[in-house]
Amino acid sequence: MTIKKYETTKTIFKKVFNKETLKNRIPITRWLPRYSVSMMVQDCAAGAAVGATAVAQGLAYAALAGLPPQHGLYSGIAGGFIYAVLGSCPTMSIGPTSIISALTAKYVQGLSIDFAVLAAFLTGLVQVALGVFQLASSWISYRDRSSLAS
């Protein structure tokens, strides 16, 4: 009986950690092998344009949240790096928003900055869990997902 449980666990492990599943869960493994120098030049130009607006936006949203300006910059940078590896939509905008900044200000008002950092970290963990376990498609309706992506 113990051997059968081991075989079942081994079978499940093979299903979860096979090459195709990892390619579906980590999209960078699909597009990075086909990435070219011309694409890198285009990405650098787009990154410079987006970065110019993201700096001002990050500073403004940090002020709106009642946090020091560097925290607004951190929030824009960290999300971009994580999304480069785990993201699956090339046109998705990642970073702080006005509603998140306003809600953060409300809940961390009068508290240490560490609470804002903790709130951001926990929110990120929930988002990563939704993506890894593909729960967003079953918990969030199509209409809500399409409005979030636009």
Give 18-60 pLDDT, tens digit per residue: 777 777 777 788 888 888 899 889 988 988 888 888 888 888 8
State which residues form the domain around 106: 36-149
- Count of domains for the chain: 1
Instruction: Confirm whether 28 is domain-assigned.
Output: no
pLDDT at 144 over 80: no
Instruction: Confirm whether 6 is domain-assigned.
Output: no
Span 66-105, pLDDT tens digits: 888 888 888 777 777 777 777 777 667 677 777 777 878 8
Continuous H helices in the chain: 2-16, 19-25, 28-31, 37-65, 69-86, 98-108, 113-132, 136-139, 142-149
Instruction: Confirm whether 128 is domain-assigned.
Output: yes
Instruction: Confirm whether 11 is domain-assigned.
Output: no
Looking from the CA of 132 toward its CB, the CA atoms found within 13 Å total 10
Instruction: Confirm whether 105 is domain-assigned.
Output: yes
Instruction: Confirm whether 126 is domain-assigned.
Output: yes
Q: State the pTM of this model.
A: 0.59
Instruction: Confirm whether 140 is domain-assigned.
Output: yes
pLDDT tier at 1, thresholds 50, 70, 90: very low
Whole-number pLDDT of residue 41: 92
Burial class of residue 92 (count of CB atoms within 10 Å of its CB; 0-12, 13-18, 19+): exposed
